[in-house]
A and B are shown apart, each in its own frame.
Chain A
């Protein structure tokens, strides 16, 4: 393409004996610097390109209900509380936190999905035995999300995202209580979380 045929010598008309042959200069251009420049620009554009457009995640918070009569009641059998602490620590308990903290478990962000899944299957089973309709067998399932002051925004969004992933319809972002804070601190100390 870029190399232009410089009139390949022998072909064409013959020159007389007295005619001096002009010195043939190659028309080939060294392409290497051009390639260098090309790839330099490519890398620049790759790095600056914003390939993925941001998405939005809708979040709808419940109204503040001061009147205790109107507050949503949560069945203990269907409640799962997820707590988040520092250094990406996740803790959970089912139902209510026992005073001795024996049902307070620690887990990781990779495993929390299994915990939610397991709880969901349990609740659905229970729901079916109570005679709920098939598509609303998990209506008792409520996940309560309680990040502590050291959890990051990423942790919060990750857990909220986990609700979408596991198709949990009822969840709430709630302030952490004092006994739960202590339970997290104790577990963090025991596990040496810094």
Chain B
């Protein structure tokens, strides 16, 4: 009797297309990724419908984290603007009588993110820059009794008179309102009324006024 032989089929599948797809996606993500610069502060920003992208411009950034510590940083990427930073810190030095040496002020030019009360600045600046991160900075006081940020901002408005800078505020979701108010008050005190809040994008709710305006192709009031 002739036996019927069933052709035995292999159970392993050809993985090759799978690998192809996987590496295609992988290469996409590698190319699309822009690594975040390391941030000394962990801040989750709130969401807003604003469609204005964050521009890489000269900016004074005021940040506060969830515990309400306020930090100030000067973002001037251009090399030739370094004398402005120097100008800024020496102005503050004279104004608040910090007693910083020239060498210490040069450290600020290199790493201009500070979150210490004025009376602790000298001690912070005495350290080498790479040890700044290890120091637990207390944050710049912004309470109404002792709003030191307003002295910083006064130095800002004097230094950057002829050099346009954006004032950016980046706050954490869970920060309380008084910190934000302290920041606004410091700005208001120095006659600075226009600033930008850094937020994450979110979609415009369907059916809202803004939605209708954008549907109609109109430009919304950005003020």
A-B contact number at CB 8 A: 181
**Is there contact, CB below 8 Å, between B33 and A42?**
no
Q: How far is the CB of A49 from chain B (nearest CB, A)?
A: 5
Number of interface residues of A (CB under 8 A): 56
> B223: CB under 8 A from chain A?
yes
The answer to whether B33 touches A55, judged by C-beta atoms less than 8 angstroms apart, is no
Contacts of B26 on A, CB cut-off 8 Å? Answer: 38, 41-42, 45
Q: Which residues from chain B contact A155 at a C-beta distance below 8 Å? A: 177
Taken residue by residue from 179 to 205, chain B's Cβ proximity to chain A (1 for < 8 Å, 0 otherwise) reads as: 111001001100101111111110011
Considering the complex, give the chain A residue whose CB is closest to the CB of B172: A153
Q: How far is the CA of A50 from the CA of B49 in the complex (A)?
A: 18
From B13-21, B99-107, B110-118, B131-139, give the one contacting chain A. Answer: B13-21
Name B38-72 residues within 8 Å CB distance of A: 45-55, 64
Contact (Cβ within 8 A) B29 A58? no
Q: At the interface, yes or no: A34 with Cβ under 8 Å from chain B?
A: yes
Q: Which of B89-97, B121-129, B147-155, B208-216 contacts A (4 or more CB under 8 A)?
A: B208-216
In the complex with contacts A50-B36, A153-B177, A173-B193 CB distance below 8 A: no
In the complex, A169 Cα to B221 Cα: how many Å?
A: 8
Bound: A156/B198 CA distance, A: 13
A window 128-167: CB within 8 A of B: 147-158, 160-161, 164-167
**Cβ of A166: which chain B residues have Cβ within 8 Å of it?**
208-210
Residues of chain B within 8 A (CB-CB) of A54 are 45, 54, 198-201
Looking at the complex, which one of B35, B52, B172, B179 makes contact with A55 (CB distance below 8 Å)?
A: B52
**Interface flag for A3 (CB, 8 Å):** yes
Interface size class of B (residues with CB under 8 A): 35 or more
What chain B residues lie within 8 Å of A117 (beta carbons)?
209
Cα A166 to Cα B209 in complex, Å, equals: 5
Question: Which A residues touch B20, using CB under 8 A?
Answer: 1
Expressed in whole angstroms, the minimum distance between the Cβ of B20 and any Cβ of chain A is 7
Chain B proximity of A85: nearest CB distance (Å)? 10
Is B76 interfacial (CB-CB < 8 Å)?
no
Given A41-B26, A148-B177: A55 and B199 interface contact (C-beta under 8 Å): yes
Note all chain A residues with C-beta closer than 8 A to B171: 153, 157
Contact partner, B22, options A39, A46, A157, Cβ 8 Å: A39
Chain A residues with CB under 8 Å of B174's CB are: 152-154
Note all chain A residues with C-beta closer than 8 A to B34.
50
Q: Which of B47, B171, B197 has the most chain A CB atoms closer than 10 A to its own CB?
A: B197
Complex Cα distance, B198 from A45, in Å, reads 24
* Additional 5 contacts, C-beta under 8 A, given A55-B52, A153-B171, A153-B175: A55-B201, A56-B54, A57-B197, A165-B209, A173-B184
